[in-house]
Structure 1
Amino acid sequence: MSSTIGLNYPVLAPLLPVTGTFAVPFTAYFSWLSLRVVRHRVNDEHYLGDNSAKVADASSQKTNKLYLSSRAHANFAENVPLAFALAAVAELNGGNRKILTSALSALLAFRILHTELGIVKPEGMGLGRPIGYFGTIGTMLGLAGYAAFLVRGYWGV
């Protein structure tokens, strides 16, 4: 059975089945992070920005939830697209589906740990934050290395 891409160009199989599969849970979690920011905006009646002036106020003893939620949302948006691009490059160059599935599963777990057990904890300093950070960086470095390994023949290695 063939599928089509672009302007009806036939191919025999989907081009990015692993990356495409993980688009759903990553998008769902990103949407959850976005909705959390909106909830805090409505509760604080602060509809623009992250209300970080409240955080900088010396009299404030706790970091505000809107600021932490905004940072969690932005941090996800800063890291996940590059990881997805690296996974897609590896997959398009013949990457092993089990390796890519493991890497993207780990990445999702690290991003959830970083936020739910890290940034949104009091003062934004839960144990999940360093675990999620270093796990995310390690996963992205692993994906980059794997993608480079898959095209090593291009460089004559």
Structure 2
Amino acid sequence: MFSVGITVPKLLPVTGTFAPAFGAYFVLLALRVSLVRQSTHIVIGDQGSSSDKAAASDAKPPSTAGGGNNLLIAARSHANFAENVPFALLVASFVEMNGGDRRALTASLAALLFLRIAHVEFGMKAKDSLGWGRPVGSLGTLAFIGGMSSYAAWLVKSYWGL
């Protein structure tokens, strides 16, 4: 293979290595939502028509035991991933661009991938959506974002004269 023009170095090899795995899991979660929507014939929302919601407003939320509201579980699993992972990858990219330790970044991103999978597979999909993976995944993700944000700030502290 030959190149034409200027050779550009790989700018984010660590973050770029994990992006396909996070992307693949995102696609899996999105497909699960689509499959549940097809099987339940609910094309928008998560519980059917607004009259159904009005009738159920006085009732307690549906239990997820024995199948429960599979669409709600699938949709929230996907949405929660979409709410947290892009920001986590962005902060990891800042760390990598500013010279963060690649081994620490690799280990941290591997842990984040585990945490996000545990959140859904061993948390949201567990009985009543209360499996061990839910608090571990949720709190672990917050710790990752807080830790990586702090590390990113520490890496550029000289910019602020510190």
Please list, as runs of the form range in 1=range in 2, the aligned pairs for 1:51-90 lying within 5 A after superposition. Answer: 51=47, 53=53, 58=59, 60-62=62-64, 63-90=68-95
Aligned to 2:34: 38
Tell me the distance in 2 between the aligned counterparts of 1:64 and 1:102: 35
Give 5+ residue unaligned stretches, structure 2.
none
Q: TM-score, normalised by structure 2?
A: 0.84
Give 5+ residue unaligned stretches, structure 1.
none
Aligned to 2:135: 130
Q: What's the RMSD between the two structures over aligned residues? A: 2.2
Tell me the distance in 1 between the aligned counterparts of 2:15 and 2:63: 42
Q: TM-score, normalised by structure 1?
A: 0.87
Amino acid of the structure 2 residue aligned with 1:118 = G
Aligned to 1:106: 111
User: Larger relative contact order (C-alpha < 8 A, sep ≥ 6)?
Assistant: 2
- Structure of greater Rg: 2
Aligned to 1:151: 156
Q: Which deviations, in whole Å up to 9, do the C-alpha atoms of 1:113-132 show, x marking residues without a partner?
A: 11111112222111110011
| Cα pair distance change 1:32/1:56, threshold 3 Å | farther
